[in-house]
Amino acid sequence: MLLLTTTRDALLAPLQSVAGIVEKRHTLPILSNVLIEKHGDQLTMLATDIEIQIRTITGGHIGGEDASITVGARKLQDILRALPDSGDISLTLDDKRLTVKAGRSRFQLQTLPAADYPRMNLPDSDAARLTISQRAFKRQLAQVSYSMAQQDIRYYLNGLLIIADGGELRMVATDGHRLAYAAADLDAPVAARTEAILPRKTVLELARQLADSDDPLEILLAGNQAVFRFGPIELVTKLIDGKFPDYERVIPQAHPKLVTFNRQPLLASLQRAAILTNEKFRGVRMVLEDGILKIVSTNAEQEEAQDELEIDYQGDKLDIGFNVTYLLDVLNNLSSDTVDWRFNDGNSSALITLPGNDKFKYVVMPMRI
């Protein structure tokens, strides 16, 4: 039974959109598969890991009968990648086997019944609806997502908090050692304040999939689920159930020492100092003196790196230590030419912001070196 005839890229592009969430090993074999549904000239592909579900619909596929099957996502993706991008590809279903033909190449894949494939239910009509451009949301994710925890026992830190309040969307992530906050304007204000904690895997998938364009992203938040719709893609995710820390209490309000740095020279200086940091603790000392910033690192082999930058600073000497990875993360994910750093003393957190912009804040705790 012929399912369809189409080009390689017309199959590969939607498959790559959904296959990113498929785990290599699953206790349920069917979760390693992608659900393929053919109706008329439309092709729907859906993948899930029970926590996240991604669906994409494409059109323009020629001929064939309507059918629904599931087949190994990674195997089909590897086959399509290996085929030449010219010429047509046909999919044929016979006796629970899917045959992929392209030129003189032929592959037979085992299928599992579509009726057994698990699907996540969509939220009901009471969901809070938000609309924002894909570019704005993607930029926000880049500004905060690196601060998420990984496999922290405080499970609510292994994700990212989003808050829709009035006409603003806020994002916050923290691992207990640093905190990143970013805000952006929604296309239209929301009726009521809504909060949700997105799982880490969902955040990384959205960052990978969203386009750097002004095309709209529609977000639905309801109960323990969120839905993201953009282009031909619909992503449904479970939310993390927990109480996120009060981020506003963490952000310093009145640090007296302000230094404005050129971002690229500071980033380069920290990268040089990071070469000789202790591999486990990654600590660097930042020594502020009149007109000079010294960045110093040492390691267990008694090796030392020192770098100096000229800065516009007049005040008391300050010697403060940081995990250099936390500093490199924030500087690598900002695009502005300059950044403002506010300090209090060697035992207090530092606040990094953008000049003339209150929509981004980054708090990093000091470390003893």
Token couple for 204: 């990384």
CA distances from 141 to 203, 208, 251, 307, 357 (A): 7, 10, 19, 31, 17
Which secondary-structure segment (H or E) carries 9?
helix 8-19
Per-residue pLDDT of the chain (369 residues; tens, 9 = 90+): 898 899 999 999 999 999 999 987 778 899 999 999 999 889 999 999 999 999 999 987 777 789 999 999 999 999 999 999 888 999 999 988 999 999 999 999 999 999 999 999 887 767 899 999 999 999 999 999 999 999 999 999 999 999 999 999 999 999 999 999 999 999 999 989 999 999 999 999 999 999 999 999 999 998 899 999 999 999 999 999 999 999 999 999 989 999 999 999 999 999 999 999 998 889 999 999 999 999 999 999 999 999 999 999 998 999 999 999 999 999 999 999 999 999 999 999 999 999 999 999 999 999 988
Measured CA to CA, the distance from residue 36 to residue 47 in angstroms comes to: 9
Best CA proximity match to 89, nearest among 99, 77, 74, 97: 99
Biggest alpha carbon–alpha carbon distance for the chain: 80
pTM: predicted TM-score of the whole model, two decimal places: 0.93
Measured CA to CA, the distance from residue 3 to residue 91 in angstroms comes to: 5
Best CA proximity match to 220, nearest among 152, 151, 128, 86: 128
Measured CA to CA, the distance from residue 121 to residue 30 in angstroms comes to: 18
Query: Are the C-beta atoms of residues 65 and 1 closer than 8 Å to each other?
Result: yes
Name, in order, each residue with C-beta under 8 angstroms of 33's C-beta and a sequence gap of 6 or more. 22, 70, 71, 72, 73, 111, 112, 117
Measured CA to CA, the distance from residue 22 to residue 26 in angstroms comes to: 9
